[in-house]
Amino acid sequence: MSQNLQEQEVVFKVKRFSPEKGDWWSEYKIKVDRFTQFTEALRRIKSEQDSTLSYRASCHMAVCGSCGMKINGEPRLACKTLVLDIVKKYNNNVITIEPMDYFKPIKDLVVDWDEFYDRMFKVKPRLYPSKEVLEEKAEHRLKPEDQKELWKFAQCIWCGLCVSACPAVRIDSEFLGPAAHAKGYRFLADPRDTITDERMKILIDSSWRCTYCYQCFNVCPRDIEPVTAIKKTRSFTKNYSDKSEVAKRGEKHVEAIYDSIKQTGKLLEGMVYLKTYGLIQSLTDLIYMSKTGKLKYALVQEKNVQNINEIKKILGGEKK
Amino acid sequence: MEKIEYDAVVIGGGLAGLMSAHEIASAGYKVAVISKVFPTRSHSAAAEGGIAAYIPGNSDPNDNPDYMTYDTVKGGDYLVDQDAAELLSNKSGEIAMLLERWGALFNRQPDGRIAVRYFGGQTYPRTRFVGDKTGMALLHTLFERVSGLSVDFYNEWFALDLVTDNKRVVGLVAMPMKTMTPYFFKTKAVVIASGGMGMLYRHTTNSYINTGDGFGIALRAGAALKDPEFVQFHPTALYPSDILISEAARGEGAILKNIKGERFMAKYAPKKLDLAPRDIVSRSIITEIREGRGYPGGYVGLDLTHLGEEYIKERLALAYEAAKNFAGVDAINEPIPVRPAQHYYMGGIDVDIKGRNPDLIGLYSAGEAACVSVHGANRLGSNSLLDTLVFGQETGRTVVEFLRSNPNTPTSNYEKEAEKVVDDAYKFVKSESGVHFGEILEKLRDVMWDNVGIFRDEGGLLNAMSEINNLRDMVSKMYVTDKSKVYNTEFFNALELRNMLDLAIVIAKSALDRKESRGAHYRTDYPERDDNNWLKHTIAYLRGNTVEITYKPVKMTRWKPEPRVY
């Protein structure tokens, strides 16, 4: 280990809040070294400089999910972030710390979790084993490869960073959000579970409301990839009979993309649109487009790519 | 004051508390769990290596629960109550399988059964694990299970004190951190499952929340702590952040080296080398550092480099990641910087094998907050997760028996007592100016580390007693600068400090009185174990500012003390 601790003074600008006083910013100067975690910096600020500063922190090793906050605008776990890494990344020793987006602030960096927890509990986050197993008349066996697959998604620590970064949650109240989907998929895919139909009812419609922006993928401190859980949940749609309109349209959209690429080698937006939304909706939208002068984009003629047969071969003979 | 009524109240939402609550709720009783954090943020989440379990038909064919009991008794330097250790071993398979049925994602063998690995001090391998995050996996499984029952969770509520009437628990006062309005919880039984106390020490692998609240609450209510002098230090905490580098690293072949590159454990434990028990390795590391063979800054190297990249990343993922993220060290190419840090508290609220405290009717305790005692003077790795679940369950069942045989709620004039609890809490931080909690807290952590740590002697312990008493005096000048009436963490930190000071004085006095070395309690002035005089449990009460100490015998069944050689 290098003996150079790279000690340096850093300025923390912390966004404060209290119901009595509203918003304000406080500034603290502290000396850190190359190993100082944000949680330790905050702890020192609180015990040495300003004991009124409120924040959450518990394990300081990225397994409890308490210390989510926004550091220079990025949602991060404070414990998993070293102060000097941020100084280097932004080439600036002035760092801003704010409460996570989307959640309501209660006091300083402490935010309200109630709605997040409601979403998590909506997915029935627990295994429902068979009666035989619960009565000890049978024993679970779980293949190592299934354990590996499920464990990836079971490592969600309810830290909320993905929800704070998710644009879809903000505009669509029917969307359960990335964390709840990771948790939901972990049980949906568990071969030991017995309420698969009920889980599909809870998860499938919501899974088609994700916009695949990958923000959850980017911010997750445990590399869960909630968006991957959502993709995998969508693949259950074909086994589910009671599909919502959102799910049906989602399936059509996927099929249309598949067909377009298979036929032409390209993603033809017009063709995908027509197949996803049907003729009547497409005609209505065409009228709107012609009024706004955007029709010319919809009517671009595309040629098939060369070697289209190679593409067909890759995609296989049968649909899906 | 607002009143809420329950059959039983559990303080703490970690593995032990949740398991107790599960048993009480499953029997149809009304139970509340009060936790200062959302339950999955509890320190149980930080456990890494695994949970020891003898599973019939899925263990080494030569193994049996008696070997497990023997390992535990010997590891604990014979201060273990052997009936408790037998129960722990006999129930280990059952409890691991219960968690499996509830969905715990244990690592598997190719045939789908739960896998197993070796841990320090085991005659045969019996550690069951979920990657290197076993605690997190079990905690989530249990919380998710219990959240489906009719258990009322009071998350981010702070428990202040018990209310008792003639040596019987009649309730407790707690307040939500969000609104800070005190409530009286009227109840027949209280289970304290509030975990450990690592924040008493300058260096600890514990979470920031581990401030020993349950110990302070029990002491102030007149209940005893058992064996409070026994504090475990883990030899390999990452320098400088004190994040735990699991014993599994040494289990997989990692070697401790001093700055000269010497494998110094050859000197201290020639047979077991780096896999000697935690107390021995911790003392060896500190000796190397004190004698000038540590690295500047005070640490030694944990060398994995000979294991190769693939092996390290597969078997020691968390150690690798932690070293990389938190110490900037690539363990494939250079040793991980480590030093000992406080890790576990063997002492705790005095309870019997059923989780009952003998001092107060209606008081129960489980998990790290309790001393049953199964860990004696030194806990073996993989036994703490097992302890939380087995004795969490036992305690919950005992509470159910108690509720069945005591259906009537005690009538008591609790109002005045409850008001007094709140007054005492506010009195603790009453000054308008003077010192604030940070100053006292940091001083306390240094005093405990320097004088009540890995090496102890009479001079240091007397000094600690006097320093802690000074800090207790300083508290009368302590104040809270934050006047906010919402989530005022400064106020709660101050109350945590009250609990820490009450515990600290008890630890220091008990350590001063035990004139021998046993397990984690090492006296340089009395370096030998002394079974003739000291094979007994310390029982400590706090009466005002005075620590009163008595002793009680260790329960022996089949295992006679023998020299602890590794």
Structure tokens at A188: 């949906």
**Which one-letter amino acid corresponds to residue A317?**
G
Q: Which tokens is A272 given?
A: 């995908």
Q: What HEC string does B365-424 produce? A: ECHHHEECCCCCCCCCCCHHHHHHHHHHHHHHHHHHHHHHHCCCCCCCCHHHHHHHHHHH
Amino acid letter for position B284? S
Which of B126, B128, B145, B278 does the annotation list as catalytic? B278
- What's the gap between Cα A186 and its chain centre? 14
> What residue in B sits closest to A123 (Cα-Cα)?
B144
d(CA A71, CA A75) in angstroms, rounded, equals 6
**pLDDT for A320:** 46
- Nearest chain B alpha carbon to A149: B105
What b/e readout covers B73-112, taking b as 16+ CB neighbours within 10 angstroms? Answer: bbbbbbbbbbbbbbbbbebbbbbbbbbbbbbbbbbbeeee
Write the residue in A60, A65, A143 that is nearest to B108 by C-beta: A143
Q: What is the helix (H) or strand (E) element at residue A312, kind and residue range?
A: helix A308-315
Q: Which two tokens stand for residue B265?
A: 């454990």
The confidence score (pLDDT) of residue B171 equals: 95
- In angstroms, the CA A208 to CA A249 distance is 9
Q: Is residue B484 less than 8 Å (CB to CB) from chain A?
A: yes
What's the pLDDT at B271?
Answer: 87
Minimum Cα–Cα distance from B156: chain A residue: A56
- The label of the residue with tokens 């305690």 reads B395
Residues A114 and A134: their CA atoms lie apart, in Å, by 31
Structure tokens belonging to residue B186 = 């009227």
Residue numbers in B near A114 (CB within 8 A): none
Report the alpha-carbon distance of residue B60 to residue B67 in Å, rounded.
11
Q: Name the minimum distance, in Å, from the CA of B83 to any CA of chain A.
A: 27
Residue of B nearest to A22 (CA): B484
Three-state DSSP class for B254? coil
Phi, psi angles (nearest 5°) of residue B338? -135, 155
Inter-residue contact B107 to B130 (CB < 8 Å): yes
Q: Is A212 left (phi over 0), alpha (psi -120 to 50) or beta?
A: left
| ipTM confidence score | 0.94
Q: Which of B37, B109, B140, B300 to mutate to test the interface with A (most CBs of A within 10 A)?
A: B140
B126, B117, B120: which is closest to B63 by C-alpha? B126
User: Looking at this protein, which amino acid is placed at residue B291?
Assistant: E
- Let me know how many helices (H) and strands (E) chain B has, helices first: 16, 20
Query: Percentage of chain B with pLDDT > 70?
Result: 100
CB-based contacts of B354, cutoff 8 Å, min separation 6: B394, B395, B398
Average pLDDT, chain B: 95
Which token pair is B179? 């609104």
Closest to B437 in 3D by CA, of B501, B387, B357: B501
- Using one digit for the tens of pLDDT, what is the confidence trace for B418-454? 999 999 999 988 788 888 899 999 999 999 999 999 9
3-state secondary structure of A52: coil
Chain B residues touching residue A127 (CB < 8 angstroms)? 102-103, 141, 144-145
Q: How far apart are the C-alpha atoms of B17 and B155, rounded to whole Å?
A: 13
Tell me the two tokens of residue B480: 């809270």
Tokens of B275: 């896999």
Pairing between β-strand A110-111 and β-strand B2-11 as defined by DSSP bridges: unpaired
Higher-pLDDT residue of A263 and B394 is B394
* CB-CB under 8 Å, A124 with B297: no
Q: What are the CA-CA distances from residue B112 to residues A147, B129, B382 (Å)?
A: 9, 14, 22
Chain B within 8 Å of A141 (Cβ-Cβ)?
yes
Residue linked to tokens 């850093």? A10
Burial group, residue A258, by CB count within 10 angstroms (0-12, 13-18, 19+): middle
The helix-helix angle for B134-146 and B15-26 (nearest 10°) equals 30
Is B278 among the catalytic positions?
yes
DSSP letter (8 states) at residue B223: P
Token readout for B136 is 């997190």
Distance CA B120, CA B551 (A): 30
* CB pair distance less than 8 Å for B481 and A150: no
Query: Which amino acid type is present at position A219?
Result: V
Q: What's the pLDDT at A317?
A: 61
B272-280: average pLDDT: 88
Query: What DSSP line would sit under A17-42, residue for residue?
Result: EETTTEEEEEEEEEEE-TT-BHHHHH
Q: Which secondary-structure segment (H or E) carries B163?
A: strand B157-164
Residues of chain A below pLDDT 70: 1-3, 317-320
Rg (Cα) of chain B, in Å, rounded? 23
CB-CB under 8 Å, A47 with B437: yes
Give dist(CA B346, CA B228) in Å, integer. Answer: 7
- Count of other CB atoms within 10 angstroms of residue A243: 17
- Chain-centroid distance, C-alpha B98: 23
Q: How confident is the model at residue B408 (pLDDT cuts 50, 70, 90)?
A: confident
Residue A76 CA: distances (Å) to CA of A7, A26, A65, A71, B180: 23, 20, 10, 7, 28
Q: What Å distances lie between residue A294 and A278, A281, B364, CA to CA?
A: 19, 16, 73
Question: H helices within B221-367, ranges in order?
Answer: 248-251, 265-268, 278-290, 309-315, 317-327
Identify the CA nearest to B184 among candidates B13, B397, B1.
B1
Residues counted in chain A: 320
Beta strand segments in B89-134, E = 127-128
Nearest-angstrom CA–CA distance, B214 and B499: 8
Residue A1 is predicted with a pLDDT of 55
Give the mean model confidence (pLDDT) for residues B513-527.
97
B497 in contact with chain A, both atoms CB, cutoff 8 A: no
Which residue among A43, A58, A121 sits closest to B209, beta carbon to beta carbon? A58
Alpha-carbon distance of B502 to B499, in angstroms, equals: 5
Residues A106, B45: C-beta atoms closer than 8 Å: no
Contacts of A155 in chain B (CB under 8 A): 133, 136
C-alpha distances out from residue A30 to A15, A73, A91, A99, B208, Å: 17, 20, 17, 20, 20
- Could you give the CA distance from residue B418 to residue B531 in angstroms, rounded to a whole number? 45
Handedness of CA B134, B139, B145, B148 (dihedral sign): negative
Q: What's residue A300's pLDDT? A: 73
Largest CA distance in chain B: 69
Please give the single-letter amino acid code of residue B500.
M
Q: Which of B278, B445, B441 is nearest to B346 (CA)?
A: B278
Answer yes or no: do B325 and A80 touch at CB < 8 A. Answer: yes
Indicate the burial class of B287 (C-beta count within 10 angstroms; 0-12, 13-18, 19 or more). Answer: middle
Which residues 6+ apart lie within 8 Å of A106 measured at CB?
A: A17, A112, B178, B486, B487
